[in-house]
Amino acid sequence: MSRYLLVKLAEVLGAMLTVSFIVFLVLEANVEDVAVKVLGAYSAPDQRQAWLQENGYFDPFVLRYLRWLWNFVTLDWGSSTHYRVPILEILPQRLAATGILAGITLAIMVPVALILGVLAGMREGSAVDRGVSFFSVLTTSIPEFATAVFLSAIFVFWLRLLPGASTMLSGFSVTEMILPVSVLTLYSAGYLARITRASMVEAMRSPYVRTALMKGASTSRIVLRHALRNALIAPVTVVMLQIPWLLSGVIVVEVFFAYKGFGTLLYEAALNTDVYLIEACAMVSVVVVVATQLISDVLYRLLNPRIRFGDEPAGATT
Amino acid sequence: MNTARLVAGLKSPTVVVGGLMVGIWVVCALFAPWIAPYDPLQNKAPLQLPLSTGPDGSFYFLGTDLLGRDIFSRLVYGARTVVLWAGLATATAFVVGLAMGLAAGFYRGWVDRVLSFVANVILSFPVLVLYILVIVTFGASGINIVLAVTFASAPGIFRIVRALTIDIAAQDYVAAAIVQGESPLRIMAAEILPNAAGPLIVDACLRLGYTTITIGVLGFLGLGLPPPTPDWGGMVNDGRPMAIAFPHMVIFPCIAISMMTLGLSLLADGIREVGLSPVRSGGKEA
């Protein structure tokens, strides 16, 4: 277990270092560009040169990268050029806002998807099964901005029941949360339901379920005691793997509903070429993704006693 | 055998419905100038509602946008943008992913380790963050979208191809080909690739859908193809400020893109069911 974790941790660190290098390369390889982005398009050339000199931009590239990485690790993330405040003053609160949005979404999406998946997988080919399958194809195929438009058209434009924006200007508002959470739930529930269904179908076909059936156990007993435990291993790890996927959806949904979270922060940073803020956001999202992958991997092994730590993971990584 | 499968495919309602939904837009893309009633860039009467007749007597089936451009014509021409760029981007991603996956699965060893590491690194990026990073740095253009999509989806294709190649390379006929002294390149192209085609076709349909979504999302975020190119995602972005008063400007492009992506999903599902391929879970982009 501990050896497996060490290897995995080394792999993850290697991947993160490479990614950080790419981020740095893409955004800071061209020194002149950085100066223009930080000082603005109307800054004088000699002013830019002086600024670059002062901030050590003429040092060798590798040295600059290492210094940048060290600053990131020691939480010295610099200031946003667009918002004109230290990044650490805005990023955590935006991340928390996104955490609330994602948390509520997961709290609703996971039980709904698991129940739908189990109901569908209990009787393969039944009407419920086909209904759930169709629902999941439908919701996962439609882009999240289109779902947002459709739901807004119905509930904001037509029925006039819900607000069309979720700016949360006058404090936290439940009604403003409904639409963003619904869009994200619809967008992600289908995939999880499909995985749960497939896993449940497989469990229901297994020899131990057949044995239980022949012993005359009731359907509810078979499902609850025998099939469910094994069927839930895959979905639980998929939930963790979905978090990075959710992150992409979150950006779109936050922008659509003007929700002040991590997604809109990254988006605004990108639109305003706010170099340091983009870097910080990109690094934070990579850390989140990698951490959830690690947790998912470990969880899969903890839940599935048939796989020992150190073996090739079977299906956990895809 | 192949004709039998084709017939089975045409009998499957999923394939037919999916094929129709995609087919309509492909036809629109091919014959846009004959289908669209107006020039998609021409400024006519602004903010006309659907099924209305403008002051100059032109009929607007789906209304016009803020700049007076006919929405139906823009949707038809927008199909061109989607089919062209999504097709091109998916194709290049497949070429790269195929080459990497075949090499890694056939040679194994250090080739496999290096390529797998590269794939893992790219996959540990949240896709949309990656796109935003690439587009912001290199600018928004069709070619840059192709590059960004190739970069982001090749690793996923690589994983599937690699797994299939490892499976197939263990078969007797591949061993026989190696003993016969055939070149690795020939073995990959003539023995392995045709036997992996089924799952890859299914994956291609799904990826084409993801890429369509990606181009739509980039357009929606204002990072897609530069205006005034008619682009479904971009149309949603343009219409958004006035969407509360004139929802037709955003609803129709959303219906168009949903039709396309849903059609591709159904097509992928249908082909899988018909059994062009053994069932294999492709996995979702993380």
Secondary element (H or E) of residue B53: strand B52-53
HSE-CB of B208 using CA atoms within 13 angstroms: 23
Angle between helices A87-122 and A174-205 (to 10 degrees): 40
| Cis, peptide link before residue B228, omega less than 30° from 0 | yes
Residues of chain B in contact with residue A140, where contact means CB-CB under 8 angstroms, are 265
Spell A201-224 as b/e; 16+ CB within 10 A means b.
bebbeeeebeebeeeeeeeeebbe
**Distance of residue A215 Cα from the nearest chain B Cα, in angstroms:** 32
So what's the pLDDT on residue B3?
66
Chain B: residue nearest A191 by CA? Answer: B284
**Distance of residue A312 Cα from the nearest chain B Cα, in angstroms:** 13
Chain A: residue nearest B211 by CA? Answer: A143
Of B284, B262, B117, nearest in space to B203 by CA: B284
Of A101, A85, A78, A97, nearest in space to A279 by CA: A78
Best residue in A130, A136, A149 to probe B by mutation, most B CBs within 10 Å? A149
CB contact under 8 A, B281 and A278: no
DSSP B167: H
Tell me the per-residue pLDDT of A153-191, one tens digit each, with 9 for 90 and over: 888 888 888 887 777 777 777 888 899 999 999 988 888
**Distance of residue A214 Cα from the nearest chain B Cα, in angstroms:** 29
Residues of chain B in contact with residue A247, where contact means CB-CB under 8 angstroms, are 126, 128-129
Residues of chain A in contact with residue B159, where contact means CB-CB under 8 angstroms, are 318
Q: Residue B7: inside a domain, yes or no?
A: no
Chain B: residue nearest A250 by CA? Answer: B128
Tell me the per-residue pLDDT of A86-139, one tens digit each, with 9 for 90 and over: 888 888 989 999 989 989 999 999 899 989 988 888 888 888 888 888 888 888
**Distance of residue A26 Cα from the nearest chain B Cα, in angstroms:** 7
How many percent of chain B have pLDDT more than 70? 93
The verdict on A290 touching B (C-beta cutoff 8 Å) is yes
CB contact under 8 A, B133 and A138: no
Report the residue from B120, B217, B251 with minimal CB separation from A252: B217
Annotate A124-191 with DSSP letters as a single string. TTSHHHHHHHHHHHHHHHS-HHHHHHHHHIIIIIIS--S-S----TTS--HHHHHHHHHHHHHHHHHH
Q: Residue B42: inside a domain, yes or no?
A: no
CB contact under 8 A, A141 and B121: no
Secondary element (H or E) of residue B60: strand B59-60
pLDDT at B128 over 70: yes
Tell me the per-residue pLDDT of B136-150, one tens digit each, with 9 for 90 and over: 878 788 888 898 889
How many whole angstroms separate alpha carbon A2 and alpha carbon B227?
54
How many percent of chain A have pLDDT more than 70? 95
How many whole angstroms separate alpha carbon B91 and alpha carbon A16?
29
Under 8 Å CB pairs connecting chains A and B tally to 140
Q: Residue B47: inside a domain, yes or no?
A: no
Q: Residue B3: inside a domain, yes or no?
A: no
DSSP B64: B
Tell me the per-residue pLDDT of A78-89, one tens digit each, with 9 for 90 and over: 888 788 888 888
pLDDT level of residue B279 (50, 70, 90 thresholds) = very low
Give the range of the structural domain holding residue B228, as residue numbers without chain letter.
Answer: 26-33+63-279
CATH (domain of B260):
1.10.3720.10
User: Which ipTM was obtained for this model?
Assistant: 0.83
How many whole angstroms separate alpha carbon A254 and alpha carbon A273?
19
CB contact under 8 A, A248 and B137: no
CB contact under 8 A, B244 and A156: yes
CB contact under 8 A, B217 and A27: no
Q: Residue B93: inside a domain, yes or no?
A: yes
CB contact under 8 A, A137 and B257: no
Q: Residue B212: inside a domain, yes or no?
A: yes
Q: Residue B49: inside a domain, yes or no?
A: no
Cβ atoms of A316 and A293 closer than 8 Å: no
pTM of the model: 0.84
CB contact under 8 A, B129 and A247: yes
Tell me the per-residue pLDDT of B75-94, one tens digit each, with 9 for 90 and over: 889 898 889 999 999 999 99
A38-42, A121-125, B278-282 — which one is most confidently predicted on average? A121-125
The verdict on A283 touching B (C-beta cutoff 8 Å) is no
Structural domains present in chain A = 1-76+274-318 (no CATH), 91-272 (1.10.3720.10)
The verdict on A151 touching B (C-beta cutoff 8 Å) is no
Spell B13-40 as b/e; 16+ CB within 10 A means b.
ebbbebbebbeebbebbeebeebbebeb
Number of domains in chain B: 1
CB contact under 8 A, A281 and B129: yes
So what's the pLDDT on residue A112?
92
Report the residue from A22, A142, A157 with minimal CB separation from B244: A157
Spell A9-28 as b/e; 16+ CB within 10 A means b.
eeebeebbebbbebbbebbb
Best residue in B251, B284, B285 to probe A by mutation, most A CBs within 10 Å? B284
How many whole angstroms separate alpha carbon A26 and alpha carbon B212?
25
| CA distances (Å), origin B134, targets A12, A54, B151 | 23, 28, 10
SS percent in chain A: helix, strand, coil, step 5: 75, 0, 25
Of A134, A137, A153, nearest in space to A145 by CA: A153
CB contact under 8 A, A251 and B128: yes
pLDDT at A152 over 70: yes
Report the residue from A137, A255, A318 with minimal CB separation from B265: A137
Q: Residue B232: inside a domain, yes or no?
A: yes
Q: Beta-carbon neighbour count of residue A174 at 10 Å?
A: 8
